[in-house]
Amino acid sequence: MYNLELQQQYLWKPVLISGQLSTEAEKDGVPVFKFPRWRVKGQAIPEVVAQYKATGAELNVLPFCSQFIPMEVIDHPKHGSIIYHPSLLPRHRGASAINWTLIHGDKKGGFTVFWADDGLDTGPILLQRECNVEPNDTVNTIYKRFLFPEGVKGTVDAVRLIAEGKAPRITQPQEGATYECIQKKDNSKIDWNQSAEAIHNWIRGNDKVPGAWAEVDGQKVTFYGSTLVDNGTAANGQPLEIPGASKPGIVTKAGLVLFGNDGKTLMVKNLQFEDGKMIAAAQYFKAGSSAAVELNEEEKTFAEQMRAVWQSILTNVSQIDDSTDFFKSGAASMDVVRLVEEVKLRASSCQLQNEDVYMNTTFQDFIQMCVRKLRGEDDEEELVVDYVEKNVNNMTIKMPHQLFINGEFVDAEGGKTYKTINPTDGTAICDVSLAQISDVNKAVAAAKEAFEEGEWGKMNPRDRGRLIYKLADLMEQHQEELATIESIDSGAVYTLALKTHVGMSIQTFRYFAGWCDKIQGSTIPINQARPNRNLTFTKKEPIGVCAIVIPWNYPLMMLAWKTAACLAAGNTVVLKPAQVTPLTALKFAELAARAGLPKGVVNILPGSGALVGQRLSDHPDVRKLGFTGSTEIGKHIMKSCAVSNVKKVSLELGGKSPLIIFSDCDMDKAVRMGMSSVFFNKGENCIAAGRLFVEDSIHDQFVKKVVEEIKKMKIGDPLDRSTDHGPQNHKAHLDKLVEYCQTGVKEGATLICGGKQVQRPGFFFEPTVFTDVQDHMHIAIEESFGPVMIISKFKSGEVDDVLRRANATEYGLASGVFTRDISKALYVSERLNAGTVFVNTYNKTDVASPFGGFKQSGFGKDLGQEALNEYLKTKAVTIEY
């Protein structure tokens, strides 16, 4: 092991006998010796030992096995020899220590640095470091996560202890000592007569080398990518007979399900045949069944370009023909990386993974696979959607109605459903799957796997942006259908749904698609650790699995505001739409799948807040929760997130937004915008002006003009293009509005118009105006979340007093001011305590402008660059050199 820093610090003469670092060591002037052997017929070669001794080495640091090195070398240095071994000795002595740690199902693993002696991994222990072994760890994952990086650090620490004269020599105990044989292909056959966990441990303990295998259909098949499976889930697929197994395996869409003799299950992702070809286990019965694609002239040109690439890699092959096998011709793992990159250079739209090469090893198979990908026909599973179809709004709308988990539409556990209601007439639209706790767990597990193991977490940010942009394009292609679904499910007027609910959603995804490759950290100057120097930089990293819980007033737009930033940051999502408005979220899930977002990246769970929302708040694998809704529920969510695992939270909660209208305003504009501030989206608007303060000199004129405009408003079917005011979202909300207005009347406010339900089918409520509203009244303090205008007077010249009254609320989401005096506008905007201040306008939100509240209106931002920070974590890295 070579370390220049230690060489300089301790003034030892390092000797690198062999290894991958030899090139770097030579650059630093370190003597490098590469001997083909140390011994001949069991005896040390004198010339080799002499060359070694001539270097004057004071310590040998050896990785893994030392039995190949003569004791004359082991014992020669002043400080002797130390060895790194990847297990917690005395357990798992021997060359396959990592394999056997997994095969035995050890819960703890780690490494040992010990003093070499003449035994096999039996010398005194210098230090040990341990780690948890995860249930689905493989040799590769535990080595990369802990044994290699921490092993290097541990070995450096061992050398420092020796240099300081503090290195212990702890005799290895005899109790618990084990020695297992070297794992080779001939002794890695699977014994099916054991539990599912034991089979899983055997497969992962041999993954990827030498590979656990069994006979299937008369040939040797090697199994890779094993995971334990939730046994509460029934496996649906095609049975596969496996000699010796307690039950046939089942080839499912997710992989090959296998059974232990205890009836429990595991799943493997990939299979490799004797000829070296690897396939996805889910494709077992499809392997070799696809008809060859006939290439067009452009594709033939691409094929010839790739033939030249293969020839440049496989220099030992005289000619590349269709049957040339990439690996049998001598290609190695680095050649796979090169081949993938060569394809990108010649066809950027053909995004290959290393696994694609392993699964298409002959030139013909490789070209066929590339061409299918270029055509968008790369054998991906067809999305199966059980639509509810309706002919409405001069079109046929096709609505998914099941949960969307791990790239599939599925029924809820137990087949539970509920009816979603059309607020225009109170009739049922369709039955929708009602998610249960087990469904939440499945969705979170799928999102976690997609983030940690899937291609989404490894995807180039620019490629991620392309997928998000493609999703926005698909939403645009389906915008009329989405707007129609939004109208019948939420009561939104169709023209508003088309422009705002859907239109702004499309803009939001396009905006954040552009941010994907612009997320970056910074370099920070810090105090230097003289005589050394330091470099500190930050990285912005995705959080992981994010839960999003959205309300019913803007079902698709609230989804877009949070999900677009979340995905752009590289996270995966489990989203709970409002129970009363699930349909556009489910249609969005379909479009996300068709856009090519990998399985598990987006999961949609219609269901109750008490069950689904609560489980998402409590789930230990959810690392961030974004919520829009009431302050009361927001407080409960915040508490649950803190108690569960201190997950990051952003909350956009209730509001009672003040709008101050001064006498020097543009009256016509103030009336028009004032009405929009209250009645936009039939008042179901989180930033709606909950209270208007109108200067007394223009109060009566303002109220008169508002009432005149209300009389012109058409209340009716939201799909009618001339409708101004549609139904409230659901019956319970309608009833609360009636009660709210009755309370205002009882408190002594003057009801100018409205205040009651419209006498027609559905959940319609009249646009309402109250005046003479005093500060202490319930309707002055609490939001209606409906089409109710609350007007209070203020005296001319009392700017500071009206500001005091406007800020005398626990909410701080939005606010507004109308005046022609720019100095007054700036003065008021500085003193209004709200996350957004509108001046001479209202409801002017934009995808590039941050949106969020103060005080009990919550914290965190949607939209704009700041929204990305809600779904990122900052890591600081400091390097001393």
Distance, in Å, from the CA atom of 311 to the CA atom of 318, rounded to the nearest integer, reads 8
Q: Give the DSSP per-residue string, 854-876.
A: EETTEES-BSHHHHHHTTEEEEE
The answer on whether 612 is annotated among ligand-binding residues is: yes
Which of 481, 486, 652, 684 is labelled catalytic? Answer: 652
The answer on whether 124 is annotated among ligand-binding residues is: no
Question: Would you state the structure tokens that stand for residue 253, as one six-digit string?
Answer: 């869409």
The answer on whether 68 is annotated among ligand-binding residues is: yes
The answer on whether 67 is annotated among ligand-binding residues is: yes
Residue with tokens 């009363």: 580
Query: What Rg, from alpha-carbon coordinates, does the chain have?
Result: 34
The answer on whether 610 is annotated among ligand-binding residues is: yes
Contact 817, 828 (CB under 8 A): yes
Tell which residue, 687, 686, 691, has the closest CA to residue 777. 691
Neighbours of 274 (CB within 10 A): 10
The answer on whether 97 is annotated among ligand-binding residues is: no
Burial class (CB in 10 A: 0-12, 13-18, 19+), 446: buried
The answer on whether 851 is annotated among ligand-binding residues is: no
Distance, in Å, from the CA atom of 755 to the CA atom of 742, rounded to the nearest integer, reads 8
The answer on whether 630 is annotated among ligand-binding residues is: yes
The answer on whether 561 is annotated among ligand-binding residues is: no
Kindly give, in sequence order, each residue whose CB lies less than 8 Å from that of residue 426, ignoring residues fewer than 6 positions away.
731, 761, 762, 763
DSSP lists the bridge partners of residue 660 as 693, 817
DSSP lists the bridge partners of residue 817 as 660, 839
The answer on whether 611 is annotated among ligand-binding residues is: yes
Which of 486, 686, 695, 730 is labelled catalytic? Answer: 686
Q: 131 catalytic, yes or no? A: no
The answer on whether 552 is annotated among ligand-binding residues is: yes
The answer on whether 576 is annotated among ligand-binding residues is: yes
- For residue 453, the 8-state DSSP code is T
Pairing of strands 858-859, 648-652: antiparallel
The answer on whether 550 is annotated among ligand-binding residues is: yes
The answer on whether 578 is annotated among ligand-binding residues is: yes
The answer on whether 629 is annotated among ligand-binding residues is: yes
The answer on whether 164 is annotated among ligand-binding residues is: no
Distance, in Å, from the CA atom of 593 to the CA atom of 250, rounded to the nearest integer, reads 25
Kindly give, in sequence order, each residue whose CB lies less than 8 Å from that of residue 711, ignoring residues fewer than 6 positions away.
none
Element (H or E) spanning 768, and its range? Answer: strand 768-771
Q: 652 catalytic, yes or no? A: yes
The answer on whether 237 is annotated among ligand-binding residues is: no
Contact 529, 544 (CB under 8 A): no
The answer on whether 189 is annotated among ligand-binding residues is: no
The answer on whether 385 is annotated among ligand-binding residues is: no
Kindly give, in sequence order, each residue whose CB lies less than 8 Å from that of residue 35, ignoring residues fewer than 6 positions away.
17, 18, 45, 48
Residue with tokens 């020899």: 81
Which parts of 543-623 are beta strand (E)?
A: 545-549, 572-576, 602-604
The answer on whether 133 is annotated among ligand-binding residues is: no
Give the distance from CA 647 to its chain's centroid: 15
Distance, in Å, from the CA atom of 357 to the CA atom of 609, rounded to the nearest integer, reads 45
Sign, CA dihedral 113-116-118-124, equals negative
Which of 85, 478, 699, 733 is labelled catalytic? Answer: 85
Distance, in Å, from the CA atom of 658 to the CA atom of 814, rounded to the nearest integer, reads 7
Q: 104 catalytic, yes or no? A: no
Tell which residue, 179, 160, 176, has the closest CA to residue 82. 160
SS3 242: coil
Distance, in Å, from the CA atom of 394 to the CA atom of 530, rounded to the nearest integer, reads 76
- For residue 570, the 8-state DSSP code is T
Tell which residue, 711, 712, 701, 703, has the closest CA to residue 754. 711
Residues annotated within a binding site = 67-69, 121, 550-552, 576-579, 609-614, 629-630, 736, 783-785
Catalytic residues: 85, 652, 686
Residues annotated within a binding site for (6R)-10-formyltetrahydrofolate = 67-69, 121
Residues annotated within a binding site for NADP(+) = 550-552, 576-579, 609-614, 629-630, 736, 783-785
